């Protein structure tokens, strides 16, 4: 039997839930599906009616443009709600691939409907958290549109570590990226060659350290300055939502 809900746990980082809400959210995670690293969870343009909560592991979403180039849209962590575009489109606009061996909990959008109908506070919360996603995306947009290669790498690394910290208090300054340099490039609009140059430069400057796949941020303050980075995950203010 499932012990708890990853998604509820995430929401409770921001606002307390009551027992009924917690139970309702846990129901979304009743079905668990293991996916191996590299496996495609959802393919762009396939007909879908499922969405997912990511329970373990790591997932990315991307699109492939007609010329073959790839834009990675987002990297997801446990507790994230993914594939939500299927709530409005019958054909998936993006591909979902596991970056590490993962566990996803699929559920039909009809299941979401029941949740939204019966737990308006959860509906409000989900609407509100989708705003946080929106702001994160606009930050990326500014990063891609208006900052240098080095700034993009810095902002990307900071974004990842901040999001990991939301769910895992143990993380201090070191984390596993689980992305190749080519994937980093596809996320921030650079070639793998240039990502490499930036990464080595930052390493040479003592901003980061690398060993195996893991990265240590040696000077977060400086990195934030270089990347024009603003943390959008810790300062959420949800007091105005209905009480539990």
Partner DNA sequence: CGCGAGATTGACTGAGTTCAATAATCGTGG
Partner DNA sequence: CCACGATTATTGAACTCAGTCAATCTCGCG
CB 71 within 8 A of CB 35: no
Closest separation between CB of residue 92 and a copy of itself, Å?
10
| Interaction of residue 189 with DNA, rule CB under 7 A | yes
Helix 181-188 vs helix 149-167: angle between axes, to the nearest 10 degrees? 100
Q: Dig out the tokens for 69 from the structure.
A: 């180039």
Which positions lie near a copy of itself, rule CB under 8 A? 49, 61, 63, 65-67, 69-71, 73-74, 84-85, 87-90, 93-94, 109-110, 113, 116-118, 120-121, 123-124, 126-135, 137-138, 140-142, 144-147, 186, 188-189, 228, 230, 232, 235-238, 240-242
| Interaction of residue 148 with DNA, rule CB under 7 A | yes
* Opening angle at CA 51, ends 186 and 43, nearest 5: 45
Other CB atoms within 10 A of residue 95 CB: 20
| Interaction of residue 222 with DNA, rule CB under 7 A | no
Q: Dig out the tokens for 154 from the structure.
A: 């810095």
- Candidates 7-15, 109-117, 134-142, 194-202: pick the segment binding DNA (CB under 7 A): 194-202
> Max alpha carbon distance in the chain (Å)?
55
Distance, in Å, from the CA atom of 117 to the CA atom of 13, rounded to the nearest integer, reads 23
| Interaction of residue 216 with DNA, rule CB under 7 A | no
Distance, in Å, from the CA atom of 173 to the CA atom of 209, rounded to the nearest integer, reads 10
Chosen residue from 26, 149, 164, 236 binding DNA by CB under 7 A: 149
The residues binding DNA (CB under 7 A) are 148-150, 180-182, 185, 189-194, 196-197, 199-200, 210, 212-213
């Amino acid at each position: 039997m499932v012990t708890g809900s990853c998604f509820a746990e995430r929401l409770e980082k921001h606002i307390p839930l009551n027992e009924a809400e917690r139970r309702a959210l846990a129901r979304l995670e009743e079905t668990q599906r293991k996916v191996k690293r590299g496996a495609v969870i959802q393919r762009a343009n396939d007909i879908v009616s499922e969405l997912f909560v990511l329970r373990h592991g790591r997932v990315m979403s991307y699109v492939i443009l007609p010329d073959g180039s790839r834009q990675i849209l987002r990297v997801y962590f446990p507790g994230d709600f993914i594939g939500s575009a299927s709530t409005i489109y019958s054909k998936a606009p993006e591909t979902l691939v596991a970056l590490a061996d993962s566990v996803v909990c699929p559920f039909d959008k009809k299941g979401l409907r029941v949740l939204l109908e019966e737990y308006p506070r959860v509906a409000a919360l989900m609407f509100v958290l989708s705003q946080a996603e929106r702001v994160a995306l606009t930050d990326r947009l500014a990063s891609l549109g208006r900052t240098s290669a080095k700034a993009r790498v810095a902002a990307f690394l900071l974004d990842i570590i901040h999001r990991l910290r939301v769910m895992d208090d143990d993380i201090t300054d070191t984390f596993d990226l689980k992305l190749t340099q080519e994937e980093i490039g596809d996320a921030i609009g650079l070639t793998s060659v240039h990502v490499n140059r930036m990464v080595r430069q930052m390493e040479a400057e003592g901003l980061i350290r690398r060993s195996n796949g893991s990265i240590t941020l040696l000077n977060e303050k400086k990195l934030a300055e270089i990347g024009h980075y603003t943390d959008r995950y810790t300062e959420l203010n949800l007091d105005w939502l209905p009480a539990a």
